[in-house]
Amino acid sequence: MSERWARVALTAYRYAGAAAYPLIGPYVAWRASRGKEDRVRRRERYGVAGRPRPEGPVIWIHAASVGETIAVVPLVESILDYGVNIVLTTGTVTSAKVAEERLGSRIIHQYVPLDLKPAVSRFLDHWRPELAIIAESEIWPMTILELGARNVPQVLVNGRLSDRSFTSWKKRAGVAEALFENLAHVIAQSDTDGERFRALGARPVTVSGNLKVDTNPPPVDERALATLQRQIGDRPTWAAISTHDGEEVVAAEVHASLHRRHHGLLTIIVPRHPDRADALAAQISGMGLTVARRSKADRISPDTDILLGDTIGEMGLYLRLTEIAFVGRSLTSEGGQNPLEPAMLETAVLAGRNVQNFREAYQRLLDSGGAKLVRDRDMLAGAVNFLLTNEAARHEMMAAGAATVDEMRGALARTLKSLEPYIQPLVVKARLKGANGR
């Protein structure tokens, strides 16, 4: 690697705030992910392949975590239809499980290598990808520079830049340009994201919309759904999903303020990080509320106040148990979580005001009447009370959200059109390889 690129990588890691030296930034990221890894496959994080490379062209697609993985599943399926091999990398055990459940043996799954030159080089030497597709906002300097040095086209899909990330990159515009100029194409989620990538030196940039809109609703185990529905009966319900620290207590306080007004009220709380469940259950029980934990298969009895959804991969189950969902990381934390899944399942969406990471989706839902933002706990309690009391208004809000998601679809087709110049040569190559192999 040239001295210039080494300086770029070093400065980029300093920008990221991870550490002062390039070797420490990836180490910090690795330490942060401990407990979210498959120990048996840990060597993959150092670029040691767990599988042989298939014959023919290989496309490397990277999706960091669960949300990104779900978003790229339809894109992966569309590319697989062309007959091209795909190596899909993710960063966590949970996202690996999602890839296995939804794509199975049709792709090769690997854990993404640490952003260290030896690990990235080892990974690239083995898989020899002819195209790299990166989802959303995964900007790893060493990986980008190594791919650039090997002349591998890199396309960022569903690209987004949060307010904070954009501000940080702007302060180091030279570093940003040196990295983003390695991207062959940026396909951004929104006009705002597109403008930000252009301002940082990315060329060309197109806008596709959000790939998450073109995904299927989260799946559900119908037997488990039927069991819980029998236990709940005709009790009124509402949910607080993808919650972050502090929001679970807010949801429990809302329940306490409403349960006398709405006899038999059941509140469903689904924390973003289920590993906090023990502490949450103890905290909520300490408020005098009865908690049933999904992970322990606790039965929902008539006196159960809170169903704690402390499992992974069951959002489709929890959302089908209610018609009202507060989406977290929006009251006590910043950025928000994805409101599209509840909306596509015809759920009235509530959220706090800190939803910058999903600004466009929320704006569309707010404009159509499919979502409402609340200022604090009391305003959330008022909104839940109103929707529980007013069936017509609730159903109108539910229908508006589902219609808005339908109107927003089309990102997948636009993304595939932008990717066509990079994919079609590999399709031809794969077909020629197949013909010569017969």
Which two tokens mark 263?
A: 């006899």
Place of tokens 């991207």: 183
Q: Is 68 a catalytic residue?
A: yes
Contact 329, 242 (CB under 8 A): yes
Instruction: Pick the catalytic residue from 44, 68, 136, 248.
Output: 68
| Nearest-angstrom CA–CA distance, 80 and 68 | 18
Spatial distance between the Cα atoms of 434 and 438, rounded to a whole number of angstroms: 6
Cis peptide upstream of residue 204 (ω within 30 degrees of 0):
yes
Cα→Cα distances 438→1, 197, 435, Å: 41, 45, 5
Query: For residue 354, what are the CA distances in angstroms to 137, 162, 167, 366, 386?
Result: 19, 12, 17, 14, 22
The closest of 55, 161, 48 to 112, measured between CA atoms, is 48
Assigned token pair, 356: 């910058």
Identify which of 110, 107, 105, 112 has the alpha carbon closest to the alpha carbon of residue 85.
Answer: 107
**For the stretch 37-63, what's the b/e string if a residue is b when 16 or more beta carbons lie within 10 angstroms of its beta carbon?**
beeeeeebbbbebeeeeeebbbbbbbb
Residues forming the active site: 68
